[in-house]
Amino acid sequence: MKLDDARLTTQGLPLNDTRGKILLVACGALAREILDLKSANGWTHLDLTCLPANYHLYPEKITQSVRDTVAKHRDAYDDIFIVYADCGTGGLLDAACAEMGVEMIAGPHCYSFFEGNDRFAKTSEDEITTFYLTDFLVRQFDAFIIKPMGLDRHPELRDMYFGNYEKLVYQAQTNDPALTAKAQDCANRLGLTFERRYTGYGDLETTLAQL
């Protein structure tokens, strides 16, 4: 058997055949949730590629990286969908997607679409002193919050950064007691009151289900 023959499925298609598939270009902070949704729903028509999760800290890198990724994969897929909200790009990502002819998930950021964009829009004005964490950010609290802000080296800066916040809301995608306990600890470390909201996957799930 030749090597090329060994790479064929029983239908005679290459194992990496992408015909009829949609490529999701996503924030790395959403990778686990997207893979869980793909597995739970049998969404084998969705492929996933992720940009670095730490672009959460450097939103100015997002738009060009999305452009480059779309250009790299455009010829291989029937469709490409961007699993970023605006995420601090100031409308630049939305404009780039419109120019490239690809769609993206609606909302200002993942806190909004996890909670549900409509609901978040109604409550956010009353929660301007609220700091939000998702499952990912609870797991990566030190890497994405404490260390980038220098709080590991200068804990006295906590009040400068968080003095105007009153509450930490943990938007839970899963029912994990260990994550809830860690989220409570995150609130304690920042000197904030704690609230847990089970959001599930919110508009992320409903949006992907429509693809």
pLDDT tens digits for 157-185?
A: 999 999 999 999 999 999 999 999 999 99
Asked if 99 and 127 sit in the same domain, the reply is no
Q: Given the DSSP bridges, would you call strands 167-172 and 103-104 parallel, antiparallel or unpaired?
A: unpaired
Query: 105, 134, 159: which is the final residue of a domain?
Result: 105
Q: Structurally, how many domains does the chain consist of?
A: 2
Identify residue 166 by its one-letter amino acid code: E
Q: Are 138 and 179 in contact (CB under 8 A)?
A: yes
Q: What is the pTM of this model?
A: 0.89
Query: 80, 105, 130: which is the final residue of a domain?
Result: 105
According to the model, what pLDDT value does residue 20 have?
87
Asked if 147 and 57 sit in the same domain, the reply is no
- Taking the C-alpha atoms of residue 208 and residue 198, their distance in angstroms, rounded to an integer, is 19
pLDDT tens digits for 10-54?
A: 333 344 678 789 999 999 999 999 999 999 999 999 999 999 999
Asked if 100 and 9 sit in the same domain, the reply is yes
Per-residue pLDDT band for 8 (boundaries 50, 70, 90) equals: very low
Query: Is residue 149 in some structural domain?
Result: yes
Per-residue pLDDT band for 114 (boundaries 50, 70, 90) equals: very high
- Write out the residue range of the structural domain in which residue 128 sits: 115-198
Measuring CA to CA, how many Å separate 21 from each of 81, 117, 184?
Answer: 11, 27, 40
Query: Is residue 210 in some structural domain?
Result: no
